[in-house]
Amino acid sequence: MTSTAGKSDRFVPGGGVAPVLTAAFLWGTVGPAQVLVASSASPVSIGGCRMLLGGFVLGLFTARRTGMRTLSRRGTRCWTVVGILVTAAFQVCFLEAVARCGAALATAVAFGAVPVVSGVCGRVLAGERLSRVWACGTACAVGGIALLLVPADGRPADSVGVLLAVVAGASFGVYIAVTKQLGQRGGDTAAAAPATVFLAGVLVLPWALAHPDGLGDPRTLILIGWLALATTALGYLLFTWGVTRISGATAGTLSLAEPLVATLLGVLLLGERLGVPAVTGAVLLLGGLVLVSVPARWSRPGEPSRE
């Protein structure tokens, strides 16, 4: 990485670690909230409403006409389209995976793929160096997730749900790379977030209109409100602001805080029990996050970044 990129990874005022990590914590509530509410509405329909409302509210705070214009330029147009597609894929696949596998399992599988995909994309598209710190932190985190996947009751996981979770995680890893590419090519990332989220919701809207059952239920409306306002509008605002200030590899690994939060909420709110492998996995996962974030936090001005 260049010296500029290295400086941006330091945890100082204006750094990117804190907002990305906060966004990951917010996103970690998605699966548990969905399970807790137990809505009868289709997960795809809920995802569509979440994107439409969340993208609209996010746009009220971040979208500007001049910024929106930067997304349709020759150098940014294709990346904007890719961002819309992977955003839709992530939302739909992830919520469906949660419905099939449960909050902790679906979140763990999905975000086990994120650091690998985001790191590889950063290397291929931007020439980012995959440092030993990133490799060790990601290995610990992915290993921890593998332990979280060990079934506590001996029942096998839903294979379709696991596959959907993997697709969701890969989509989010690509989204990280897309966001950075847009910023580097002159696109306004503050405008890109609401545009991609809202237009992804438009893509899913036909399904929601065809399957409206349960969407008017008060519990479902509360769920959509939380998912749209807190985890989408605020979460994407923080993430988009922070991801352009750190490497794609670091952003991908920091996003692994999401399955940790989902697992903890599953234990505290949903009564899920963790066996010894799962507890060990949670410790490894947390260790991976520390390896990636702490060096950035304690780098002093003038010192070479460990990224």
Q: What is the CA radius of gyration of the chain?
A: 18
Q: Residues 195-219, buried b or exposed e (16+ Cβ, 10 A)? A: bbbbbbbebbeeebeeeeeebeeee
d(CA 261, CA 243): 20
Give the angle subtended at the CA of 227 by the CAs of 211 and 56, to the nearest 5°.
Answer: 85
User: 221: pLDDT confidence band, cut at 50, 70 and 90?
Assistant: very high
Q: What is the pLDDT of residues 56-75, one digit of tens each?
A: 999 988 878 888 999 989 88
User: What distance lies between CA 26 and its chain's CA centroid?
Assistant: 10
- Confidence category of residue 14, pLDDT binned at 50, 70, 90: very low
pLDDT tens, 65-107?
A: 888 999 989 889 999 999 999 999 998 999 999 888 888 778 8
User: What's the predicted TM-score (pTM) here?
Assistant: 0.76
Reference 56, options 218, 178, 224; nearest CA is 224
- CB-based contact 137:253 (threshold 8 Å): yes
C-alpha to C-alpha distance for 64 and 68, rounded to whole angstroms = 6
Nearest to 26 by CA among 197, 230, 205: 230
